[in-house]
Structure 1
Amino acid sequence: MLKRILAVMALAIVPLQAQAFCGFYVGKADSSLFNESSQVILARDGQRTTISMHNDYRGELTEFALVVPVPVVLRKEDVKVLDQKVFERLDSYTAPRLVEYHDEDPCSPRERVAMMSAIPAPTSVPRGSQDQRVRVEVFFTVGEYDIVILSAQESDALEAWLTQHGYNIPRGASAALRPYVRQDMKFFVARVNLKEHAKGGSRYLSPLQFGFTSDKFMLPMRLGMLNAKGPQDLIVYTLTRKGRVEASNYRTVKMPTGVDLPIYVRDPAVFRDFYKTMFARLAEEDRFRTVFTEYAWDSAWCDPCAAPPPRDEEIVAAGATWVADGTSTRRRGASVAVTRLHLRYTPDSFPEDLMLQETADRATFQARYVLRHPWTGNPYKCGAALGYFAQLGEREDQEARALARLTGWNLAEIRARLPRRSTPIPLPATP
């Protein structure tokens, strides 16, 4: 078995502030690329790993490409273009969520509960190279990508090859590539055919998927720090047979969950602001050295669900081929554990690539936050109703304190957004 792992890289020409990927872009001419957000799906079965990459970009629609180190010369059948809807389904299915409950009538033992989710034609490529230290092994076209497989004896030769073919390389690229060249890894240049890409009408690149065999379960990250200022974010979805996935060389921590928050967090904009602020505080408190678990569940169900679970054919397309046969009928006893990991990192905080391990832990987990709607009935309906309203203000103050604690927001400003309540005055007893 190969003891080398795919080092996923997407190369970018300008070191703009970026959110997330385990590589960098290489841009052609003077185009300005912006890697705004990225997601990776890792399907792991034994020693077989299938990686799917989804990247965002902004900038002029001039020609650019992805450069990816791989352990072997990939065949055309090893590379696919994945429908981005698979990423969208996994994102919505595993996203942090709100769950809403309505307080029961304190005068009736029957409970009324309601739950909902709140967030709601290829260029000709020569087979030879002017520099004999770089060799073009093969080239083929998959979807909107014209792919060239390269081998290189020296990293500066690889950099020179890309430069000779019209690409501007970010500073530090040669040094970052050197460890992979020393491991005799190959490199494929997935040149984007912009005419084909434009037909899709999307600003997203079509997700690129490739599979390989290795005894290591890991995700290269250090290469992605060449094109970004400040911390980067990365969301990783893992699909495995046995259970939850965690980092083996960095601390893995579950996000706070099950916390009661004020009702006004129901506003989608407020909830997004809350979660982003909380995540940023947690990442900063540990100096960007932690991997956070946001979701861990079997792919077939959830409770509550922010979105319907992915269909078997979507899970198979993402690389979990052990789930179903060619007719999309789930194999008896087959299951997929879905883990969503979220990390924010810097070159200093994550000096090593992310090593992963599959655990046997199948306990479910969601980053979920609770909103409790007060009962709005007659406070004098019964004695229990009076007691309920007397304690409601205290509960809402605790919710406000929880929101302030998680976000650092001003408690007085949070309290100012709470509903104004007055404790009912008990009626005198009837003689």
Structure 2
Amino acid sequence: MNKKLLYFLLKLSILISNISYNILFKKRRLNIDLTKTLILFNRTDRIGDAIVTLPFFLALKNKGIKFKVLCSPYNKWVLEPFVEIEEIKDFKFSDFEFSIKSLLFNILSSIATYLKNLFIEKNKNITFVDLKGDFHLSERFKNYYQIHFKSFLLNLKYSDYVFNDFYVFGSKMQLIEKYSMIFDNLEDIEEFPKELKEYIINNHNKEIDTLINSLKDFIIIFVGNKEFRNLNIEQWKYLIENINYEGKIVVIDDPSQNYLKRLKSIIKKENVIFLEKVYDLWSLMYLAMHSKLVIGVDGGGFNFLQLPTNAFEIILYTNEKVWRPFSKNEYQIIRKDRKHIIEKSITSQNLKKYIYYIDWDYKVVYEILQEKNNDFVDKIRVDLIVEEINKILFEV
């Protein structure tokens, strides 16, 4: 599809979805007895989405709200220790594909969600909140959860609340903030929940303790991400070599990627340690808990590592307002050079979160297409990022 046409259709779908959501969320909340109704969440997607949503789920659990989360085989291990889940064993993961069909599905589902009471006769003991906008999964659970429809038109979605893909692309709010709106703005969501902290402490690989003791003072640079949504090797090299830090710089990669080996062959800085041993993400989170700062590009692995510590997130194509680290306090612009922006927030737990992004609305097209725009990536101001990181480390 032509990129300009795609961008136009995307903006149109975002506009229509936002109008629907504004009507829905400004005038309605979950007007049900939460003590008697089972809430069914669809979270059958990536591990990054699961860990980002976990503080929201734990806040609901602590309020005594009864719910279950539908998970995929890919992400069930993230949520299973904390909340009741149901695994969709035959779930087949596929990336979002933009098409006229998906556009119509998402637009009509947004409208259908708001008008459902006019057309739908459903099981009042179940409220289906679709956090992924998965049409096929919703249809599969129509009969299982006895949700019955009076109108053929509204068979597009079997949900009470749908957060579709276009909401994510166009939202002006962080993901958890938007989710909490349907529960009267939960105020007791913890950015780094105590339940998660306790689980990490009790379940990490004990070899990590030895590593932490040997490192003493250290920061983490997470270079693992998909090729299309990552810095170039030369950019990582510049960033690592120009960080002024007397402690250790621990470089971690996603085992499915090949950045670590390539960087190790070209970086000879004495205080840089390339973590070649593969640890589970809970253990790496425990490592991050003891670090001064975690640096990385927006993605699943970074979403784990940034939770327990100070973090600097480099955002490429994704919506920076949606995917920045969750903080109950506002983000403030601390540096701006034309369209290059760095923001900062201090969480309620006194963790410092920073984000860098280029203010270019068109970039979301490449997120949808899962395609790398080399010209855009080359424009990333790594020098600006390094300057700010060095200031942060000096303050720390």
Normalising by the residue count of structure 2, what TM-score does the alignment of the two structures yield? 0.27
Determine which structure has the larger strand proportion and give its number: 1
Normalising by the residue count of structure 1, what TM-score does the alignment of the two structures yield? 0.26
The higher-RCO structure (CA 8 Å, 6+ apart) is 1
